[in-house]
DNA sequence: GACGTAATTTGATCGACGTCAAATCTCTTC
DNA sequence: GAAGAGATTTGACGTCGATCAAATTACGTC
């Protein structure tokens, strides 16, 4: 398989730190890379649609990808937001052969695209590749379980607080973090309309959360845990 | 590993049809079975709790198991209901070593319990076992993705209609199905309070759905798709 | 730095669903 | 078959978050 563009050093570093590729032997890594090509896509570009025959799975090198489903009436629901290092559609390696959701770039993005059949073949020969696939699948499963539990257990302000806390240093005290993407993406990720996210932030003001653009300031991390 | 009870023929048949065990070579199946023991548990019996060290994963032979998380205030949210043939906690084979949720029986149940370390070792030697793990993980991932999408896209009556439709013959016309468990379990599975499920059923009456106990009668399956 | 577009916020309204309480139904058990 | 516990339904009510519209803010481009 040939590459649509070269794998630059930054992209290569990200790719090697993926849960899918980290820890592979040199030999396996070379074989896996030969089943891969790099795509550079503009913002809001469709990667695949639900129901299409699945022949490639992907790993995000830079940018963000939105995975979503459509209702009959055309409403969209985000299932997952993938950032650098995340892979998606690898759940189809050993199941159905049609994509289970739509994927589109949320920003200008670089993706590694892996040929499913080639990876299947490699995984059946190289134990460490099979193990990498299992590790990657496990990680996803756990993160989606978190997503279901969050949706069902917590209110919008609580979900936002959880998101912030997961990105703060563990101790108490003040913290300053920066959103890696637009708020509307975060909203979809948390299963909220953008308006609801905005209101959740404003609810959190009384818990010491200040938002200006993508910058989020927390007066006291320990305090935010009580929300 | 020894067995708490013998594997009877019915249980064995279920176990062999699991996405985890089906298609294993005789040799692999024997090795896997040697890492397994059977548990017979009464209703509402805790299998493990969130945060406990994960040393076993499970496959349901008969009965039903509820996987759920607790909020700080003690509210419960179901993540998944596992029936005969489903496995759970196998996502920890190659990740974290603590259970990510609570598990308890929803009825008197028979479970196959697999020693994670032994299965890990076997999977690293037998290709088909590794592949079985991947297939099992993939299937779960896809089913939980459906769960997130359903929660976010559909209302209670629509989710109930989807559940019914998934269990009806594909053609139009009338259908009669039977719930395999209590309605309160179905409610949790669909992310609803029992009262909301009840009201959803009564909303569906005008779409030709009649419920009496565990029996669900559908006047016209094709019609139900429009809900 | 000004402009125009896109993103975000805010207000108002509404529907969906959770919760609590009480009534009714359905099983199990004796 | 009767009793009783547990499950389900129904009613009343409150809250949360979606939606629509309008105002405001932020950002990329020239």
A188 and A147 in contact (C-beta within 8 Å)? no
Structural tokens at position A141:
């499963």
Judge whether residue A2 has pLDDT over 90.
no
**Lowest-pLDDT range, A8-12, A26-30, B37-41?**
A8-12
Give, in Å, how far the C1' of C13 lies from the CA of A188.
Answer: 23
Report yes or no: B140 and A139 within 8 Å, Cβ to Cβ. no
pLDDT (mean) for A118-133: 93
Tell whether B54 is within 8 A of chain A (Cβ).
no
How far apart CA B120 and CA B93 sit, in angstroms, is 7
Pairing state between β B36-41 and B109-115: antiparallel
Domains and their CATH numbers in chain A: 9-153 (2.60.120.10), 156-224 (1.10.10.10)
Query: What is the C-alpha separation between A140 and B222, in angstroms, rounded?
Result: 35
pLDDT of residue A5: 66
Comparing B94 with B51, the larger pLDDT belongs to B51
| Strand D CB-contacts below 7 Å | A 75, 154-157, 191-193, 195-196, 200, 212-214; B 182-184, 194-195, 197-199, 201-202, 211
Q: Is residue B132 within a helix (H) or strand (E), and if so which, with residue range?
A: helix B127-153
Q: Give the per-residue pLDDT at A1.
A: 44
**B154 chain-A contacts, CB cut-off 8 A:** 71
pLDDT for the residue numbered A169: 82
Q: Over 50: is that where the pLDDT of A153 sits?
A: yes
Q: Which nucleotide is the nearest neighbour of B187, by CA and C1'?
A: D8
Q: How far is the CA of B158 from the C1' of D9 (A)?
A: 20
Q: Nearest CA to CA, how far is A6 from chain B (Å)? A: 31
| DSSP 8-state assignment for residue A158 | H
Task: Give pLDDT tens digits for A47-103.
Answer: 999 999 999 999 999 999 999 999 988 899 999 999 999 999 999 998 878 999 999
Give the per-residue pLDDT at B5.
67
CA distance B102 to B213: 29
Give the global pTM. Answer: 0.92
**Is residue B40's pLDDT more than 70?**
yes
The C-alpha atoms of residue B77 and residue B189 are separated, in whole angstroms, by: 9
Helices (H), chain A: 9-17, 26-33, 116-125, 127-153, 156-166, 183-189, 194-204, 221-224
pLDDT score, position A94: 87
Q: Any chain A CB within 8 A of the CB of B225? A: no
- As a whole-number percent, the residues of chain A with pLDDT over 70 amount to 97
Q: What percent of chain B has pLDDT over 90?
A: 82
């Amino acid at each position: 398989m040939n590459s649509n563009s070269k794998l630059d050093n930054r992209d290569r570093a990200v790719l090697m730190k993926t849960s899918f590729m980290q820890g592979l032997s040199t030999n396996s890594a070379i074989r896996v890379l030969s089943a891969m090509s790099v795509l550079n896509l503009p913002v809001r570009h469709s990667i695949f649609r639900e129901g299409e025959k699945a022949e490639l799975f992907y790993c995000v090198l830079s940018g963000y990808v939105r995975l979503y489903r459509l209702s009959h009436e055309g409403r969209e629901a985000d299932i997952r937001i993938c950032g650098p290092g995340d892979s998606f559609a690898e759940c189809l390696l050993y199941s159905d052969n049609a994509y289970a959701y739509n994927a589109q770039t949320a920003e200008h993005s670089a993706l590694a695209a892996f040929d499913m059949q080639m990876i299947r073949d490699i995984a059946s020969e190289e134990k460490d590749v099979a193990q990498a696939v299992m590790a990657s699948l496990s990680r996803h499963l756990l993160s989606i379980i978190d997503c279901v539990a969050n949706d069902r257990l917590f209110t919008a302000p609580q979900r936002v607080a959880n998101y912030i806390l997961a990105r703060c240093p563990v101790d108490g005290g003040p913290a300053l973090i920066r959103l890696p993407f637009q708020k509307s993406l975060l909203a979809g990720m948390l299963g909220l309309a953008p308006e609801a996210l905005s209101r959740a932030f404003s609810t959190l003001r009384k818990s010491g959360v200040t938002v200006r653009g993508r910058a989020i300031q927390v007066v006291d991390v320990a305090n935010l845990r009580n929300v």
